[in-house]
């Protein structure tokens, strides 16, 4: 292995450099065998997945540092790469469970401890589940997606036995217990840092862990890096091979690519699609691209603001988007098109699927005239600067194309750490955004993104009682009735078009050849626990 010089801790210097900084010193060459360096574009903004506005990079912290009762199995995808298997649930903190029609009872590992050495008991599990269903926002809606709705459902039978009582039969209840949200927190530690006005210790947990998972946070410099150290006392799975993970924030995509090509960085998700397309030919790197299930990049329009309350305006926008140009010059083939289908009708009980829209400026202009806006209007198009390598060129192309039908859209760049919080306000008239549903069911995506009672990822503020009823029916039925409900809500989505699907993204990852064990996960973040560095 080549000897290298280690980057200084100040990632800002790396961001400002015109060439990629060197990373490793000779003194640390041996340590590199047990250290993984991840370079990424956007930093975590919290240590607490239950926090308001917690961003997706923070999910990675939570996934690796906290445990859940259960997790998912693994399978091989069509290319022979590891892929989580949502049909198989496996033990994590729980060793076994007894699933009955009205409840499920979990037995906990008796030797499991939090990072501070405190034994993990069923009281911690109950407190954690109570917290998730009570704090509101994303975590509470996520729990509700599996009919986990109120503290009374959760029972600490004894120190090592925890029971969930069901409020209804729901096929998503068990899978939902394995997603990133229902983490098991050190309730005693949290209570010590709670206050009368903050009983769930939300402020303290934003900057501190109360965890017992496979990794600890050794150092966190917000906006610069997170350093993870393996928890050698972890009992809830095979001990990870990688002792230390450094997540370094390098805003420049060119620097991230150079670090990978030079061998100074080990792995990165956050590169432009053009770079991934080119790096696939590199003999030094392994590049894996996996279609993100139940996910799409979309253009969303706030239906509670004029003129986007007018369905014809929304349809005009859908006909004006430069779809193929985006695929060619932004994504470089690293995505699956969701446009240009035979029509705007249901094509099967799966999601996402192609709609019938394609670029047709003449049709878009006609719809603008029918809507009463023949001369167009002015608006704002916002995007997440934390994922600028895709979002910026995409929004520029959309801005230019909308200009052809009279829509003058000024571009609003929002820092990645603030993006989720701004989405929750629902006051941006037009956005580009990516969303992926963790559980691979059409009704799960629509529950999050189209249901009128959902206050989180229904970023368009869309409300349609008929749509809501169809989503609710699909969640709790099977057979022909299920397919009819899915057909109903997909047809409405394509007709009403509050969000315009553009493409289904790939989750691309580039890594050194000596890094193995990568596994695709629905949450689109890296799981350090399976990785091996040879």
Q: Using DSSP bridges, classify how beta strands 499-512 and 295-301 pair: parallel, antiparallel or unpaired.
A: antiparallel
CA 513 to CA 533: how far, in whole Å? 9
Q: 420, 431, 44: which is closest to 228 by C-alpha?
A: 44
pLDDT category of residue 386 using cuts at 50, 70 and 90: confident
Q: Is the pLDDT of residue 138 over 70?
A: yes
User: For the chain, which residues make up each domain, given as ranges?
Assistant: 11-64+213-284+513-533, 87-190, 295-506
Which pTM was predicted?
Answer: 0.86
pLDDT digits (tens, 9 = 90+) for 150-167: 999 999 999 999 999 999
Same fold, 11-64+213-284+513-533 and 87-190: no
pLDDT category of residue 77 using cuts at 50, 70 and 90: very high
Contact 518, 266 (CB under 8 A): no
Q: For residue 266, which phi and psi values (nearest 5 degrees)?
A: -95, -35
Q: What value does the mean pLDDT take over residues 103-127?
A: 97
Selected residue with higher pLDDT from 533 and 24 = 533
Q: Using DSSP bridges, classify how beta strands 161-165 and 103-108 pair: parallel, antiparallel or unpaired.
A: antiparallel
Could you tell me the two tokens for 286? Answer: 């392994």
pLDDT category of residue 481 using cuts at 50, 70 and 90: very high
Q: Give me the chain's average pLDDT, please.
A: 92
In the prediction, which pLDDT does 6 show?
A: 35
Contact 288, 306 (CB under 8 A): no
DSSP per-residue string spanning 347-368: -SS-SS---S----HHHHHHHH
Strand partners, 154: 164
In the prediction, which pLDDT does 424 show?
A: 86
In the prediction, which pLDDT does 244 show?
A: 97
Contact 300, 498 (CB under 8 A): yes
What is the dotted CATH code of the domain comprising 11-64+213-284+513-533? Answer: 3.40.190.10
In the prediction, which pLDDT does 455 show?
A: 62
Q: From 3.20.20.210, 3.30.1330.10, 3.40.1160.10, 3.10.105.10, which CATH number describes the 295-506 domain?
A: 3.10.105.10
In the prediction, which pLDDT does 14 show?
A: 41
In the prediction, which pLDDT does 413 show?
A: 97
Architecture per CATH, domain 87-190, reads as Alpha-Beta Complex (3.90)
């Amino acid at each position: 292995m080549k000897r290298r010089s280690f980057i200084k801790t100040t990632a800002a210097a790396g961001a400002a450099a015109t060439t990629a900084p060197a990373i490793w010193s000779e003194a640390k060459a041996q340590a590199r065998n047990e250290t993984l360096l991840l370079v990424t574009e956007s930093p975590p903004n919290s240590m607490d997945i239950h926090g308001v506005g917690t961003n997706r990079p923070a999910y990675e912290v939570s996934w690796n540092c906290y445990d859940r009762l259960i997790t998912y199995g693994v399978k091989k995808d069509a290319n022979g790469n590891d892929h989580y298997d949502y049909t198989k649930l496996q033990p994590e903190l729980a060793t076994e469970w007894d699933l009955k029609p009205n409840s499920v009872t979990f037995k906990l590992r008796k030797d499991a401890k939090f990072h501070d050495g405190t034994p993990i008991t069923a009281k911690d599990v109950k407190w954690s589940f109570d917290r998730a269903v009570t704090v509101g926002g994303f975590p509470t809606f996520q729990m509700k997606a599996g009919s986990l709705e109120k503290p009374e459902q959760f029972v600490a039978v004894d120190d090592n036995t925890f029971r969930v009582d069901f409020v209804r039969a729901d096929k998503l209840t068990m899978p939902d217990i394995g997603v990133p949200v229902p983490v098991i927190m050190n309730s005693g530690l949290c209570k010590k840092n709670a206050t009368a006005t903050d009983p769930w210790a939300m402020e303290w947990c934003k900057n501190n862990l109360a965890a017992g998972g496979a990794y600890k946070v050794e150092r966190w410099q917000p906006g610069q890096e997170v350093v993870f150290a393996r928890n050698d006392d972890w009992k809830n799975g095979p001990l990870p091979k990688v002792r230390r993970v450094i997540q370094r924030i390098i805003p420049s995509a060119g620097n991230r690519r150079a670090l990978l090509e030079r061998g100074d960085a080990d792995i990165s998700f956050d590169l432009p699609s053009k770079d991934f397309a080119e790096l696939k030919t590199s003999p030094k790197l392994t590049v894996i691209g996996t279609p993100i299930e139940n996910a799409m990049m979309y253009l969303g329009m706030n239906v509670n603001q004029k003129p986007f309350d007018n369905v014809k305006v929304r349809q005009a926008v859908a006909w004006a988007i430069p779809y193929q140009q985006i695929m060619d010059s932004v994504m470089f083939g690293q995505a699956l098109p969701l446009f240009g289908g035979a029509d705007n009708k249901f094509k099967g009980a799966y999601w996402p699927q192609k709609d019938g829209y394609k670029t047709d400026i003449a049709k878009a202009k006609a719809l603008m005239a029918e809507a009463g806006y023949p001369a167009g209007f002015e608006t704002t198009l916002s995007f997440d600067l934390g994922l600028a390598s895709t979002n910026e060129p995409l929004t520029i192309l959309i801005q230019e194309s909308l200009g052809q039908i009279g829509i003058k859209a000024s571009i609003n760049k929002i820092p990645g750490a603030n993006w989720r919080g701004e989405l929750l306000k629902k006051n941006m008239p037009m956005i580009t955004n990516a969303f992926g549903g963790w559980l691979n069911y059409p009704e799960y995506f629509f529950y999050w993104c189209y249901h009128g009672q959902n206050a989180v990822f229904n970023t368009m503020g869309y409300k349609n009682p008929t749509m809501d009823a169809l989503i609710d029916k699909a969640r709790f039925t099977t057979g022909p009735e299920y397919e009819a409900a899915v057909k109903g809500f997909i047809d409405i989505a394509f007709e009403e078009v509050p969000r315009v699907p553009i493409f289904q993204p790939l989750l691309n990852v580039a890594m050194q050849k000596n890094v193995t064990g990568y596994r695709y996960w629905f949450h689109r973040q890296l799981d350090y626990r399976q990785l091996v560095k040879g």
